[in-house]
Amino acid sequence: MTNLENENDFLYYSGGEKLDKERADAKGLCHEYNQLHPSKMEERNAILRKLFGKTKNKFLIEQPFYCDYGYNIEIGENFYMNHGGIILDCAKVTFGDNVFVAPDCGFYTVGHATDKEERNKGMIYSHPICVGNDVWIGGRVIVLPGVTIGNGVIIGAGSVVTKDIPDNVIAYGNPCRVVRKI
């Protein structure tokens, strides 16, 4: 569960022609990106600029990378995501400047209905994720829907971030919790 009181208040149907096409288009661009030779930086960056809603000038996302739509992703200047990044961007995912993401991290804006009948009909909810400036996220971290991570934060490896993290702290664990101020 996330820090949301009642996610079922925000349910919507995850299918339909428009959303299905948008997801297929994004997955096609991700496939194209992941098949490029790692040295083809201009081509890689061009695909990400086409895929993402907003990029700055300097960024690097290692292959493989996966997302749902792409257009809901905004990355700041000097953004780095290591291998195996996944952003399920049914809602907006915003990263500030100087954000470093270690391997195998996931940012999941989406969840399924808790009621089994609703879930079986394809009902989901999605809430934005926001990551501030000057953040380092350790390997295999999962960030759940509706979470905001403040500026100057370090998230320890293996954490599951279920609630907002304030500025200038080190946080880790499952669930992730503030351990100390920086």
Report whether 142 contacts 2 (CB < 8 A).
no
DSSP 132-182: -SSEEE-TT-EE-TT-EE-TT-EE-TT-EE-S-B-SSEEEETTTTEEEEE-
Is residue 37 part of the annotated active site? The answer reads: no
CA dihedral 90, 92, 97, 99 (to 10 degrees): -30
Site of tokens 């990044």: 85
Site of tokens 């992703």: 73
Among residues 169, 89, 102, the alpha carbon closest in space to that of 129 is found at 89
Report whether 35 contacts 47 (CB < 8 A).
no
* Eight-class DSSP state of 95: E
- Identify the active-site residue in 31, 83, 112, 127: 112
- Residues near 9 by Cβ (< 8 Å), separated by ≥ 6? none
Active-site annotation, residues: 112
